Structure 1
Amino acid sequence: MEAIFEKSQLGKPLIIAGPCSVESPEQFMSTITPLVNQGIEIIRGGIWKPRTRPGSFEGLGSIALPWIQDSKKQLRFKFATEVASARHVEEALKHGVDIFWIGARSTVNPFTVQEIAESLRGTSIPVMIKNPVNADLSLWIGAVERIQKAGISDIAVIHRGFSNFRDVVHRNSPLWQIAVEFRTYFPDMMMINDPSHISGKRSLVPIIAQKALDLNFDGLMIESHYTPDLAWSDAEQQLTPEDLQLLLQNLKTRKVRFESQETLNQLEEIRHQIDQADHDLLEALHRRMELVEKIGEYKKLNNVAVLQMERWKEIFKTRPEWAEKLAINPELIQEIFGLLHQESIRKQTEILDRK
């Protein structure tokens, strides 16, 4: 059986699209017919919908599975749905579902992932694994390993963002650095971005989708509904099939490799300059830590407390201001100096504890 989740050698992103939830045979066919006609070969749809609070629409359940079978007799596509238990797996396999995904609320629970993994043992069905709700890289890696140990080899992961109460822009904070770090553990595994769940509103979906392609993601999973405002779930983030087609036409894919040796040589020269700049930064940090140790010795000699709030406030006020004058992101600098100051406090405390 040919693997579904193999990276394209041409850099062409895999596109998965479809409604958040399967609501009726009419809604499903009205949505997916134009998608399939656009050339989308994998259709997504929620059969079971794990919701945060009771009372929300939690999917129609197994009653919708025969509708999927009927629609596949009329149109050629592969169908993907979320499974959150062994019963879901059994029902979906019985009705010919082609691809499963494990949702963010399941990935966060190793017991749930293990139950799903055991129910998949002996099958060869492709599986996608979403990142956990919270920003825990180990849980995401662990979920992949559990599915692999069950004998499943056709695996992709889905970056759908992370819960973050401080983010007022996104429904789920993208925290791109976690997705990038995940790829260092599984460099050959397809990573698919879910701009619908990251954005939470359709106006942001194109922005997130393009950002994902700029970061060399392998595909996109986007929610689409023929009448999004009437959708029973996730109405604000779904696109009409027509808007989705326009989005896909406007996306820019990036080259995976450099085509000329001259361009590669120029890049290597710039990288060499970055290496030198990084070395200079580390020497400056070394010098800073030497000064921190002197301050620690002085405080110990004079019986002065390590944490001086006025100094803390001064650093967090002035460093971002200096950064802005140098056209550097002040939030980045505030985060960096927060870490530096924590390390300074740690070193000074260590000095005070010495006998």
Structure 2
Amino acid sequence: MEFAPLSSWFPNNSNWNTEKKPLFIAGPCSAETPEQLMETCLEIAKNDKVQVLRAGIWKPRTRPNNFEGVGKVGLEWLLDVKKATGKLITTEVAKPEHVEEALKHEVDILWIGARSVVNPFTMQEIADSLKGVDVPVIVKNPINPDVALWMGGIERIYQAGINKMAALHRGFSSYGNTKYRNEPMWQLAIELKSKLPSLPLLCDPSHIGGKRELIYPISQKAMDLNYEGLMIETHRDPNEAWSDASQQVTPQRLAEILDKLVVRTGNLETLEKAGLSDKLENLRTQIDKIDREVVENFVARLELVKQLGDYKRENNLPIFQLERWQKVFESRPEWAETMDINPDFVSAIFKLIHDESIRIQTERKEDF
């Protein structure tokens, strides 16, 4: 699949992307009243760095009797915002009727939310409604941490004839409490990008963080990872917002965040021209050497695991030994801390190693 660049989303007379810079989308989580939407967007539009204004019109909620959006009347307000600011506008669609109404009200960009992407039937219905239409579509990651499901949603829209697309990383549901509303699991977004390299990748720090104080650091990490843009929820008075109040910022705070961001514009070609690429290659060579040694040590360890499994069988011992398992998972993170390495990282590695050790021991065949 080959996707169009973000610059193709904009009218020919637009000066956006005359140089490499991110796509910034901002606006309230929900359109609440004509005044709230217009006032918020007029303030945001003063910032030339923001190219697209957003607002939720239909809001899928986990439980009924919560605010579920103002409905299609909000599209009229959004169109007024477009006329008043000259900016492009975007909203979420969750079914064919939404697509029809959004296009009727001159919505420039559609996005599909996590709750829709998780359902292939819904994605196919939306895809069918987009056939023959030339409109950019942003596909959020599904709630589940499942790259195949995310890719499947993107493929359905692409097969409908849409090549102006982007993936929006908004984090994933996970067990346990973390500082995030939705665990970022950055490696999954990177995996998607590696599979679909021409697909623009955007980040939604509002939904990942869930708290406005986390929006800047998440945004900066996205820039460091070479994401091509951000969608940040912005409200004239976030504390009074009708939905997701804690993760919205004021237009003034949005401007501060965007001004503070460091955008990584360097590339290998620039380094080579400046004669600075040798150090990069030298460091990579050293990493490759150490990685090979790590793999060789894995081989040596797993050979010992095989011998251990044989010994346990010969002496009628069970493969899994709780005390040993507990000792490994207590000692390795402790070693990591003494060496100033993230203990959670080391725990995750040894969990994988232990799983492979159990697999090898249980799959060893006895001679008959």
Q: What is the aligned partner in structure 1 of residue 37 from structure 2?
A: 28
- Which residues of structure 1 form unaligned runs of 5+? none
Q: CA RMSD in A?
A: 1.7
Name the aligned partner's letter for residue 169 of structure 1: K
Aligned position for 1:268: 281
Distance between the aligned counterparts of 1:231 and 1:286, measured in 2? 56
Per the alignment, residue 341 of structure 1 pairs with: 354
For 1:177 and 1:332, locate their aligned partners in 2 and report how far apart those are by CA, in whole Å.
Answer: 13
Q: Tell me if 1:86 matches 2:73.
A: no
Match of residue 302, structure 1, among 271, 294, 315: 315
- Contact 2:30-2:56 at 8 Å conserved across structures: yes
**Residue type of the alignment partner of 1:286:** V
Residue 72 of structure 1: how far off its partner (Å):
2.3
- Match of 2:197? 187
For the residues of structure 1 that align with 2:74 and 2:310, how far apart are their CA atoms?
71
Q: Does 1:329 align with 2:347?
A: no
4+ runs of 1 displaced by more than 4 Å?
A: 5-9, 352-355
Q: Deviations over 1:32-71 (max 9, x none)?
A: 0011111222101000011111121110011111122223
Q: Does 1:286 align with 2:286?
A: no
Between 159-168 and 229-238, the greater mean CA deviation after superposition: 159-168
Cα shift at 1:12: 1.1
CA distance in 2, matches of 1:212, 1:141: 20
* Aligned-pair CA distance for 1:73: 2.3
One-letter amino acid of the structure 1 residue matched with residue 151 of structure 2:
I
Residue 21 (structure 2) aligned to one of 12, 21, 28? 12
Distance 1:97 1:276 in 2: 52
CA contact (8 A) 1:300 1:352 kept: no
1:128-179: per-residue Cα shift (whole Å, max 9, x none)? 0000001010000000100000000100110000011323201101000101
Instruction: State the Cα deviation string for residues 280-300 of structure 1 (Å, max 9, x = none).
Output: 001100000110011111111
Query: For the Cα contact (< 8 Å) 1:216–1:256, is it kept in 2?
Result: no
Query: Is 1:235 matched with 2:245?
Result: yes
Counterparts of 1:173 and 1:88, CA distance in 2: 29
The normalised TM-score by structure 2 is 0.93
- Give the drift of 1:256: 3.5
Within 1, Cα distance between the matches of 2:10 and 2:291?
A: 37
Query: % of aligned pairs identical?
Result: 50
Does 1:169 find its partner at 2:179? yes
What one-letter code is carried by the residue in structure 2 that aligns with 1:13?
P
Query: How far does the alpha carbon of each residue in 1:305-345 deviate from its partner, in whole angstroms, 9 at most, with x for none?
Result: 10011110111011111111222111111111111111111
2:329 counterpart letter in structure 1: F
Aligned to 2:73: 63
* Structure 2 letter corresponding to 1:18: G
3-state SS in 2 of match to 1:260: helix
Count of residues in Structure 1 that have an aligned counterpart in Structure 2: 355
- 1:9, CA displacement in angstroms? 7.6
Partner SS state of residue 81, structure 1: strand
Q: Quote the offset at 1:353 in angstroms.
A: 5.8
- Name the SS of the counterpart of 1:43 in structure 2: strand
Matched residue SS, 1:3 = helix
The aligned counterpart of 2:107 is 97
- What does 1:14-163 correspond to in 2, within 5 Å? 14-39=23-48, 40-163=50-173
Alignment CA distance shift 1:354-1:218 (3 Å): farther
The question of whether the paired residues in 1 share the 8 Å contact of 2:55 and 2:78 is answered with no
Structure 1 distance, partners of 2:355, 2:51, is 51
Distance between the aligned counterparts of 1:127 and 1:245, measured in 2?
A: 26
Aligned residue type for 1:293 = K
Question: Could you list the per-position Cα deviations for residues 259-300 of structure 1 after superposition, in whole angstroms to 9, with x for gaps in the alignment?
Answer: 333321100000000000000001100000110011111111
- Closer, same or farther in 2 for the Cα pair 1:106/1:354, shift >3 Å? farther
Match of 1:216 in 2: 226
